[in-house]
Amino acid sequence: MFHLPAGVIYLDGNSLGPLPKAVCDHVSKMMRDEWGEQLILGWNSCGWMSLATKLGDRIGRLIGAEPGHVVLGDTLSIKVYQALAAGLDINRDRKVVLSDTGNFPTDLYMAQGLIKTLGKQHELRCVSPEEIWDNIDETVAVLMLTEVDYKTGRLHDMKSLTKKAHDCGVITIWDLAHSAGAIPVDLVAAEADFAVGCTYKYLNGGPGAPAFIYVAPKHADLVQPALSGWLGHDAPFAFERDYRPGSGVERMRVGTPPVIALKSLEAALDIWDLADMADIRAKSIELCDLFLTEVEARCPELTLASPRDWKKRGSQVSFRFSEAFAVKQALIAHGVIGDFRAPDTIRFGFTPLYLDESGVLAAVEVLENVITNRIWDQSKYKLREKVT
Amino acid sequence: MFHLPAGVIYLDGNSLGPLPKAVCDHVSKMMRDEWGEQLILGWNSCGWMSLATKLGDRIGRLIGAEPGHVVLGDTLSIKVYQALAAGLDINRDRKVVLSDTGNFPTDLYMAQGLIKTLGKQHELRCVSPEEIWDNIDETVAVLMLTEVDYKTGRLHDMKSLTKKAHDCGVITIWDLAHSAGAIPVDLVAAEADFAVGCTYKYLNGGPGAPAFIYVAPKHADLVQPALSGWLGHDAPFAFERDYRPGSGVERMRVGTPPVIALKSLEAALDIWDLADMADIRAKSIELCDLFLTEVEARCPELTLASPRDWKKRGSQVSFRFSEAFAVKQALIAHGVIGDFRAPDTIRFGFTPLYLDESGVLAAVEVLENVITNRIWDQSKYKLREKVT
């Protein structure tokens, strides 16, 4: 299903998923037959205009959303801004955005930018992940969390946190960047208010693939979009002077949809239509547990940075090591691609879609060799380049 | 250089440019050799991370920007929001955004959304294009205009309006959606403060191709981004807790760049590297004037909606007709693709890159036939579908 380079064990699909084999032909066909032949008419004749909601439903199935309540577009940063602005508008008498230090920086940065734009009456309160529960109270307007920590893989309990938030009148925003396609998510069961996520990690949509946003039905026709673009207008092609929000999640569309990127994602989602998230999760736990156990036994120099209990972990395993960057570089040179997160974390993502036990064991073998023989301790690995 | 369907005369490149022949192979190669083989490493090894500024400079040459002051990303709607938020922040003691009724609706909608978010102390003052000059005064914070009217092709005088704006202490934002690649633009000579534009029209980047933003050097290191995403951070991969803007226009980056879409645009821009905007303009005027003169002579039922004087017109010619939609549909059925803009305008875009005199004359022939023989007056053309 995927193209993977010969000799590479890829443990960074949680940063950028690999190329699904069907993508190239699907995108080329769209370019030649649709853009090339239909030109402007493609917006209707080829269904480009409805792609953002059509693909939204296919992602919706993976995250337990109601049909018609997920839409694609923009980047995750933009979708965070939209969700947060909407949440603060719903809870406009409260001024606190509660988040945690394990949240991905761009979520926090976008909140800082929005708060500045709103006039600084608001406060971004950032506590440790463990302190979130105790900090949910009646002063909080919005609880904004990433379900799975990008660095450690620690998993928040979406359902119980959302329940407590709602008991205190708090609106919830869940960032599913490291959840969608990695673990089962059930937004309806959790009664989440908003969710956002990206599609270039476990969903394999391609570098910079569009983001998605979910708005719960009870809010969908009420939220007032801060980013009120023409594609979120009730009648985009009437070219009215004033903004009138479209129905439901359609109002969260902003500008002209990125058709080529959406087409890449469309082909990538074909794989997901066949997948059962419970199976994916079961196999992912096996792979993660195997890696974790083997590395702890064979590389005592590394310190586990992820929860040992799979119930508290997403689909990645991270370790701390003072020379994490050099280790990551040495691993790549030996065919194992993991990721580095400053200052001292190496993280490894696992997905049963293109990884099995033998791959995991081979990766451990390489890691043990790199650590035991101090292969990382060479200037070519220790050189600190700009890191992605 | 372009793929155009057999038998089609394409006069809608001002809505969606046609497929440059080199795009398919360029994008496929990126997918197979970069995404497929380099995986996550492609961000550095294939230069994905610097694409947004590298392509920015190539567009910058077409719009008279200083090197290093244009960046790609997001959609035009988002870039309008960023520029307007920055402009209002610079001129924070003033509360009026001045624009005109000829501006593209999404620009006005985004301004309305921003004003709501800012707390409604601001006012969007929208006057007719002819009244703009007299309305520029010391109460205005930002003058936000689209240089070429999307419906009529009317061209604002960027230089003189910017001069008057600056004399009154007003910040200017120029939307170049129908300018970039259509007419010569000289942002430096005009002393424009901000400019934004899209790349899917005359620049032929593909449906939903990324937008661009220009920030004048004098503002570039001072503006505080409202959409403060991680790619606009000074050190995105340090994963700091607080946002610190990057240097210059880099701070106008928001989320992860759309690499596949940027690669499509990259191939499309190869054509522009060979183009001289003065030549393009001279030939475009000839084509527009020929069309305008012939249609007025042969289709008296149509009313010219564009300025007759080429000096006051972009690279399109529009006509009004009560049954404009039906005419547009009948034209398409006869191989001439123009565009409809509600309620009664048919617009035709011209570019010498893939159009010559014979094409223009053939299009006039079809239009005359459709009008004179009332071919549009058939139910299959008059059916009012959803229009793009």
Select the residue of A40, A118, A210 nearest B339 (Cβ to Cβ). Answer: A40
pLDDT, mean of residues A112-138: 97
* Separation in Å, CA of B63 to nearest CA in chain A: 22
Give the mutation candidate from B28, B77, B203 for the A interface (greatest A CB count, under 10 A). B77
Interface contact A24-B28, CB threshold 8 A:
yes
Cα(B258)–Cα(A388) distance, rounded to whole angstroms?
A: 15
B367-382 mean pLDDT: 93
Could you tell me the pLDDT band of residue A386, with boundaries at 50, 70 and 90?
very low
Please tell me the predicted confidence (pLDDT) of residue A322. Answer: 95
Cβ contact (<8 Å) for A109 and B36?
no
* Confidence grade of residue B384 (pLDDT, cut at 50, 70, 90): low
Mean pLDDT across A315-339: 97
How far, in whole angstroms, is CA B186 from its chain's centroid? 15
Rounded mean pLDDT, B169-193: 98
Mean pLDDT along residues B196-217: 98
Please check whether residue B51 is in contact with residue B259, taking contact to mean a CB–CB distance below 8 angstroms.
yes
The reply to whether B200 belongs to the active site is yes
Rounded CA Rg of chain A: 21
Say whether pLDDT at A117 is over 70.
yes
Nearest chain B alpha carbon to A338: B40
**Does the pLDDT value for residue B196 go beyond 50?**
yes
pLDDT at A127 over 80: yes
A143 CA to centre of own chain? 17
pLDDT for position A383: 66
Average pLDDT, chain A: 96
Q: Residue ranges of the domains in chain A?
A: 23-273, 276-382
Residue A387 pLDDT class (50, 70, 90 cuts)? very low
CA pair distance A39, A33, nearest whole angstrom: 9
Instruction: For residue A115, give the chain B residue with the closest CA.
Output: B226
Residue (of A51, A16, A380, A306) closest to B31 by Cα position: A16
pLDDT of res. A110: 98
pLDDT for residue A208 is more than 50: yes
The identity of residue A384, as a single letter, is: R
Chain B residues whose CB is inside 8 A of the A125 CB are none
pLDDT reported for residue A120: 87
Tell me the average pLDDT across B202-210: 98
- Under 8 Å between Cβ of A327 and A3: no
User: What is residue A29's predicted lDDT score, i.e. its pLDDT?
Assistant: 98
- State yes or no: pLDDT of A379 exceeds 90: no
Distance from CA of A374 to the nearest CA of B (A): 23
Tell me, yes or no, if A201 is annotated catalytic. yes
Question: Which architecture does CATH list for A276-382?
Answer: Alpha-Beta Complex (3.90)
Q: What are the pLDDT digits (tens) for A15-71?
A: 999 999 999 999 999 999 999 999 999 999 999 999 999 999 999 999 999 999 999
What's the rounded mean pLDDT across residues B349-368? 98
Q: Exactly one of A10, A200, A212, A350 is catalytic; which is it?
A: A200
Residue contact B210–A258, C-beta within 8 A: yes
Q: Of these residues, A10, A104, A214, A340, which one is catalytic?
A: A104
* Cβ pair A222, A200 in contact under 8 A: no
Which of B41, B254, B386 lies nearest to residue A237, judging by beta carbons?
B386
Q: Is the pLDDT of residue B97 over 90?
A: yes
State both tokens at A174.
């869940």
Cβ distance A19 to B41 less than 8 Å, yes or no, reads no
- Which of B49, B75, B239 has the CB atom closest to A341's CB atom? B239
pLDDT tens digits along B99-158 = 999 999 999 999 999 999 999 899 999 999 999 999 999 999 999 999 999 999 999 999
One-letter amino acid for residue A37 of the chain: E
Confidence of residue B386 (pLDDT cuts 50, 70, 90): very low
Please say if B2 is a catalytic residue: no
Q: Identify residue B206 by its one-letter amino acid code.
A: G
Kindly tell me if the per-residue pLDDT of A209 is higher than 90.
yes
Residue B387 — pLDDT band, cuts 50, 70, 90?
very low
Cβ within 8 Å of residue B180, ≥6 positions away: B59, B62, B63, B197, B198, B199, B201, B202, B203, B212
CB contact under 8 A, A260 and B264: yes
Question: Closest chain A residue to B338 measured between Cα atoms?
Answer: A40
**Cα–Cα distance measured from residue A154 to residue A100, given in angstroms and rounded to the nearest whole number:** 12
Phi-psi region of A214 (alpha: psi -120 to 50; beta: other; left: phi over 0): beta
Assess whether pLDDT exceeds 50 at residue B314: yes
B201 is annotated as an active-site residue = yes
Mind listing the pLDDT tens digit for each residue in A172-182?
999 999 999 99
ipTM: 0.97
Mean pLDDT of A104-108: 97
- The lowest-confidence range among A243-247, A329-333, B349-353, B384-388 is B384-388
* A23-273 CATH pick, 3.40.640.10, 3.20.20.140, 1.10.3720.10, 3.50.50.60: 3.40.640.10
Quote the pLDDT of residue B383: 66
How many other C-beta atoms lie within 10 A of the C-beta of residue A167?
11
Q: How many angstroms separate the first and last alpha carbons of chain A?
A: 26
Contacts of A336 in chain B (CB under 8 A): none
Query: Does B104 participate in catalysis according to the annotation?
Result: yes
Contact A225 B108 (CB under 8 A): no
